[in-house]
Amino acid sequence: MNAPLSFPRSVTGQLWAWRGAAGECDDLVDQLLLARGCPPDALAAHRTPTIRDFMPDPSIFRDMDAAAERLARAVSTGENVTIFGDYDVDGATSAALLIRLLRDLGLDAHAYIPDRLMEGYGPSGEALVKLARSGSTLIVTVDCGAQAFEALAMARDAGVDVIVVDHHKCATELPNAFALVNPNRLDEDEGAAFGHLAAVGVAWLLGAALIRQLRASGHFAARAEPKLLELLDIVALGTVADVASLRGLNRAFVAQGLKIMAGRRNLGLDALITASRLKRAPVCSDLGFALGPRINAGGRVGKSDLGVRLLTTDDPDEARDIAEELDRLNTERRAIEAVVQDDADAMAIGQGNRAVAVVSGHGWHPGVIGIVAGRLKEKFNRPALVIAVDENGLGKGSGRSVAGVDLGAAVLAAKDAGLLIAGGGHAMAAGLTVEAHRIDAFADFLEARLSADIARSGADRSLLLDAVVATGGVTPTFVEALETGGPYGMGWPAPRIAAGPMRVIKADIVGTNHVRAVMAGDDGRSLKTVAFRQAETELGQALLGAGRDRRLWAAGRPKIDDWGARPAAELHVDDIAFVD
């Protein structure tokens, strides 16, 4: 905190005297796009990302055409189809998307979401065989299945076809599915460029391939084609909630999906927005911090099908009831999470300087371990895995990683080394099953494999800035101009600015260890700031007292505070640097 802020070369010494002129807005947005890797000749497409500009031909993905043809046959002949989804937001949205699409095509598909606590992650052979015996002739797994070797073998023996739609890391050998559509297959060619897609994005592309196949066969001679673009609200929710990188096609999914969501056409999403107490059209951050956690809440506490039911219902009363229950379950989840978080924090601190935080506890609720892992990762700036051990000595783990450290590949390697019963994931997140007595060996394996990557990732801790702004320049107009470079999220970070020089004139603690401060600039203007979860840190203590009499620059994300009678700008502080 006490080191000077590191300004990128593009903005060093540049002070934005914001006037809100159109030319200034264009220049600033262009700077934001270029700083995030946009090619100079693609500024127009990235400024307003559309599906047309970023969508590939679905046929570039291995097995996509085979999957589309099999689904088209099921639609044409009225087969009994089950969509088998994971219990998180990506799984729920993927399943809901395919169910709604197939319903529009005249096929009433069913959903099966495994119970997180009783069945665990992914398809089990028992579940697939049970579905086959109940009449399903085609099962589509979404957001799971890429590692389900035994389960898919049992399904094939039971005479049911399985299409896998996934995005998690694949091993060299693939399970024996009718088709396996996954941009992260190791044998993928052109499709590998879309490895950042969430499963719901892959499912949407399968939907496009399916409609194309049915169009070619004359299926729409007597019926209207489904409007696939109207399902982008579901795609946007799953993409953001699964922390997929908002680059290329994903940015288009989210930008266009938010427009659909603003119309509140999906009754379930409409009810969820109301239950989340949002008073305006949802923005990108709402998907990750308001809507997504509520969809997730059902799966975390043992009611895994609520999300899919909410997103597929056409009954407004049912939508309201489910949304209110998910809101209640989310409150319950927070209380459970707080207990596990306190224990996990203490364990991670006790591990000292280990590169990877691996913590475990008996009796921890497995439904909150992913959230706790994310908090540990943020707090200690290193990969974190949280493992809940049951009464039989079996641990269910969830991990979150930092940029530049492929946790999913490391977990797969640990499984191949015989340390895990099951495991997989992608670069930024992973899940696993491990015997309790192997946890220490697993932690040592990760330490040896990932230490060098983690050291490289953390070597440069300086903050990169998009602009340097006088205190009075942080206005609602300025923030709105910055927002036109969005949507922002993983891989396309929200703008960070430095504001100042200024002094703290008032500061206090609000909520759960958040520091709220009002700062006055040399230009005579004031700025409201918030430093989240920083009350007990060096940064928080400086704002609360130690730095009151010193001039400083504050770096952070400018936001609109719309709680008052009129919108105001505020700064969400990441760090400060004293001027003298």
Q: Give the count of beta carbons closer than 10 Å to the beta carbon of residue 580.
A: 6
Q: Is 15-45+462-578's fold the same as 351-457's?
A: no
Phi, psi (degrees; rounded to nearest 5) at 528: -80, 140
- Residue ranges of domains in the chain: 15-45+462-578, 53-328, 351-457
Run of H or E residues at 138: strand 138-142
Q: What is the pLDDT of residue 190?
A: 95
In tens, the pLDDT along 226-255 reads 999 999 999 999 999 998 999 999 999 999
Number of helical H runs and strand E runs in the chain: 20, 17
Q: What is the pLDDT of residue 12?
A: 36
Least confident piece of the model among 153-157, 283-287, 457-461:
457-461
Least confident piece of the model among 46-55, 270-279, 297-306:
297-306
In tens, the pLDDT along 376-391 reads 998 888 999 999 999 9
Q: What is the pLDDT of residue 27?
A: 81
* Whether pLDDT at 2 is above 60: no
- Please say whether the structural domain 53-328 has been given the CATH code 3.40.720.10: no
* Whether pLDDT at 13 is above 80: no
**pLDDT classification of 459: cutoffs 50, 70, 90:** low
Run of H or E residues at 68: helix 64-77
In tens, the pLDDT along 538-554 reads 899 999 986 567 899 99
pTM value > 0.75: yes
Which string of b and e fits 314-325 if b means at least 16 CB within 10 Å? eeeeebbebbeb
d(CA 235, CA 64): 18
* Whether pLDDT at 176 is above 70: yes
Q: Top-level CATH class of 351-457? A: alpha beta
Peptide bond into 487 cis (omega under 30): yes
Q: What is the pLDDT of residue 403?
A: 83
Least confident piece of the model among 138-147, 177-186, 441-450, 505-514:
505-514
CATH of segment(s) 15-45+462-578: 2.40.50.140
Q: What is the pLDDT of residue 547?
A: 58
Q: What is the pLDDT of residue 17?
A: 43
SS3 for 228?
helix
Amino acid (one-letter) located at 141: T
CA angle 216–54–230, rounded 5-degree value: 65
State the average pLDDT over residues 90-115.
96
One DSSP character per residue, 356-408 reads SEEEEEET--GGGHHHHHHHHHHHHTS-EEEEEE-TTSEEEEEEE--TT--HH
Q: What is the pLDDT of residue 388?
A: 95
State the average pLDDT over residues 203-222.
96
